[in-house]
Amino acid sequence: MTGVLGDRASLEAFDEERPRLVGLAYRITGSRTAAEDIVQDAWLRWGGANRAAIDRPAAWLTTVTSRLALDHLKSAHQTRQAYVGPWLPEPTSVEPDPADRVELAESLTVGFLAVLERLGPVERVVFLLADVFGTPFDEIGRVVDKSPEACRQIASRARARIRDGRPRYEPTADEAWDVAVAFLTAAQAGDLDGLLSLLSEGAVLVSDGGAERHAARRPIVRDRIPRFVANLAARIPPDAELSMQPVNGQPALVMREGGEVTMTMTMAVAGGVIDRIDTVINPAKLAALDAPPLR
């Protein structure tokens, strides 16, 4: 009976941590698909571990998941450098928790994850563990095989590297949805002046089609966004299903054709205007959008 209860307790301990582990792996890799695979691997390692000797299951699972995600990121790093056009993370749905810190919500936005691409794999893991998840530096050191002091220095350099490109973030509110709807309405009407009035001075649009889909190969600056978006709206197939839904915690337009997601357009709203638009049409990145929301 003790063994059965022990196994049940171990299962419950893992299930309790699983949403956090998937969120951690997703932030590190930028891939929801990879995050699910990594956490499944962590589960197998948890099953084979001497769990009686593990005093803090959450810390143990964080270390294992982070190491697996770091290995994945290292192997994917070279591929991303050769990626055709701008690279954006896989869009995902998010289940908001009012108890979350702002940093946790911000770190799931497409813009934030895209800025993290400026960091090397180790820098990214150290930064996320330290600044987003509040992991002690001695534990981070065990993940990346470095001293706590070295991890502090890596975290400091990482903050400096992403400071300028870090997107402005405001928790999504009714105003953000109103702005997003007004923008899409203007796009549908071909109202270029109306579109421009809803963009911040530094607004940028990034489009990710990968090698399979035609997309803008470079970020589009504010003055050119209205015509790009209006042209995009005019080319939407008449039988496409359009819906507004949260993507990575922000307002987004989602297009489905034949029941499959073929485009997401996520809008980051700050100060009553749109600061950043991220459009993903790479089919390999859209398959996981309808997976259960991250928490």
Supply the CATH number for residue 205's domain.
3.10.450.50
- Same domain for 122 and 190, yes or no, is no
- Same domain for 180 and 159, yes or no, is no
Any domain includes 169:
no
Residue the block writes with tokens 């220095």: 153
Burial class (CB in 10 A: 0-12, 13-18, 19+), 236: middle
Cβ proximity of 256 and 241 under 8 Å = yes
How many Å apart are CA 10 and CA 5, to the nearest integer? 8
Give the model's pLDDT for residue 128.
97
Mean pLDDT for 246-267 is 95
Per DSSP, which regions of 180-236 are E strands?
199-208, 220-221
- Same domain for 110 and 58, yes or no, is yes
- The structural domain count of the chain equals 2
- Same domain for 11 and 76, yes or no, is yes
137 CB-side CA count, 13 A? 11
Burial class (CB in 10 A: 0-12, 13-18, 19+), 202: exposed
List, for residues 168-203, the tens digit of each pLDDT value. Answer: 766 667 889 999 999 999 999 999 999 999 999 999
- pLDDT confidence band for 2 (50 / 70 / 90): very low
Q: List the structure tokens of 227.
A: 């015509």
Q: What is the pTM of this model?
A: 0.91
Give the model's pLDDT for residue 101.
67
Q: What share of the chain is helix, strand, coil (3-state, %, to 5)?
A: 55, 15, 30
Domain range for 42: 2-163
Please check the confidence at residue 114 and state whether its pLDDT lies above 50: yes
Any domain includes 25:
yes
- Same domain for 158 and 194, yes or no, is no
67 against 217, higher pLDDT: 67
Residue finishing a domain among 163, 185, 219: 163
Q: List the structure tokens of 163.
A: 């400071």
Q: Which of 161-165, 223-227, 283-287 has the lowest mean pLDDT?
A: 161-165
Mean pLDDT for 252-274 is 95
Please check the confidence at residue 111 and state whether its pLDDT lies above 70: yes
Give the model's pLDDT for residue 200.
96
Any domain includes 216:
yes
- Same domain for 263 and 126, yes or no, is no
Residue finishing a domain among 142, 163, 184: 163
- pLDDT confidence band for 4 (50 / 70 / 90): very low
Any domain includes 151:
yes
- Same domain for 133 and 260, yes or no, is no
Supply the CATH number for residue 136's domain.
1.20.140.160
- Same domain for 30 and 131, yes or no, is yes
Give the model's pLDDT for residue 106.
87
- Same domain for 191 and 148, yes or no, is no
Any domain includes 294:
no
Q: What percent of the chain is predicted at pLDDT more than 70?
A: 95
Please check the confidence at residue 245 and state whether its pLDDT lies above 90: yes
Any domain includes 168:
no
148 against 214, higher pLDDT: 148
- Same domain for 136 and 267, yes or no, is no
- pLDDT confidence band for 215 (50 / 70 / 90): confident
Mean of the per-residue pLDDT values of the chain:
90
- pLDDT confidence band for 95 (50 / 70 / 90): confident
- Same domain for 54 and 141, yes or no, is yes
